Chain A
């Protein structure tokens, strides 16, 4: 049945709602090959129709069906790639500018370039759009470190060592990204 592989590709992506599965190069290639095969078969049949004249059975309906399958496979491929990039964009807001290693491994080589573009986008006009995603209540907040992170340099030059379970009283805009990444926890 045509379009089964394209369907499998789309189904795999839809199962992973909030993360990215590894780029399925094999399945993508299989779908591309199916498209090529269908197009070749169509060319052959179209040729046959014009060659043999009106004696041969009309291949028009066959060609129509194969063409529909080509369009379907193309749609599956486009949707697969498009939705992966959309997912990358959401990840920029959720993970910050650094992707965890195992997610980065799931990107194909062609996807790292869009990632660079996306990373460049959220600091436009000197305003960092990624801070204050919730209305702020105070300038300074208390945080607790959840894992050993190392040194954090603040805007005024001072350096703070973030060790597991240490508590700090820091300016909100500096530690917001680390809280969203799960390194620090905001204590009220």
Chain B
């Protein structure tokens, strides 16, 4: 998959915004959103939030997990644990990128948050790489992928499944 496609999936996550306009319920294919009342928080899909923000029709509220202290705790847990820990959001990387990219004025200490999230990402990526290497080298038949987000799984596509296919082909060809 393209990272853009994963982002498309991640944009369906709900976040809270504070609209600056009034409007009735909007009926979308995926469900109804609204009604919008200015200054009252409301939950909308991420893609809609970004869109409204770009038109300057709302203010985005920082998600609970996107605080410095909470992220530091997650980072420490990740460093200490040998396997993957549960991330606060299924699409944390996508939310971080979009929110910090388009709405950094609504999020205090955005740069620090960006750095910490990047660190968490790097720690998890290196864990993925070493566990993939162990899987291939020792001809394991399964690997534990608990708590991995789709974006992270996507980084080892397509090289891992293709490599495993080739190993299978070599094994299966007639002796």
Which residues of A pack against B, CB within 8 Å? 134-135
- A99 CA / B2 CA spacing, docked (Å): 27
Tell me, in angstroms, the Cα distance from A134 to B5 when the chains sit together.
Answer: 7
- Chain A residues contacting B7 (CB-CB under 8 Å) are 135
Residue B65 interfacial (CB < 8 Å): no
Is the CB of B4 closer than 8 A to any CB of chain A?
A: yes
Contact residues in A for B5 (Cβ distance below 8 Å): 134-135
Interface: B8 (CB within 8 A): yes
State in angstroms the CA–CA spacing of A135 and B12 once bound together: 13
Nearest residue (CB) in A for B8 is A135
- 7 A/B residue pairs, CB under 8 Å, sorted by A: A134-B2, A134-B4, A134-B5, A135-B4, A135-B5, A135-B7, A135-B8
Q: How far is the CA of A82 from the CA of B8 in the complex (A)?
A: 36
Inside 8 A of B2's CB, which chain A residues have their CB?
134
Chain A residue with Cβ nearest B5: A135
The residues of B that contact A135 with a CB separation of less than 8 Å are: 4-5, 7-8
Bound complex: CA of A23 vs CA of B7, how far in Å? 42
Task: Give bound CA distance, A69 to B2, whole Å.
Answer: 44
CB within 8 Å of A: which of B1-16? 2, 4-5, 7-8
Name the B residues within 8 Å of A134 (CB-CB): 2, 4-5
Q: A131 → chain B, closest Cβ, in Å?
A: 15
B149 to chain A minimum Cβ distance, whole angstroms, is 18
B112-149 CB contact bits vs A (8 Å, 1 = yes)?
00000000000000000000000000000000000000
Which A residues are CB-close (under 8 A) to B8?
135
A134 to B4, CA, bound (A): 7
Q: Which chain A residue shows the least CB distance to B9?
A: A135
* Shortest CB distance B156–A (Å): 21
B52 to A: closest C-beta gap in Å? 13
Distance of B26 from chain A, by nearest CB (Å):
16
Q: Considering the chains assembled together, what is the distance between the CA atoms of A135 and B8 in angstroms?
A: 6
Question: What is the minimal beta-carbon distance from A168 to any residue of chain B, in angstroms?
Answer: 20
Q: How far is the CA of A135 from the CA of B50 in the complex (A)?
A: 15
Chain A nearest Cβ from B74, distance in angstroms = 28
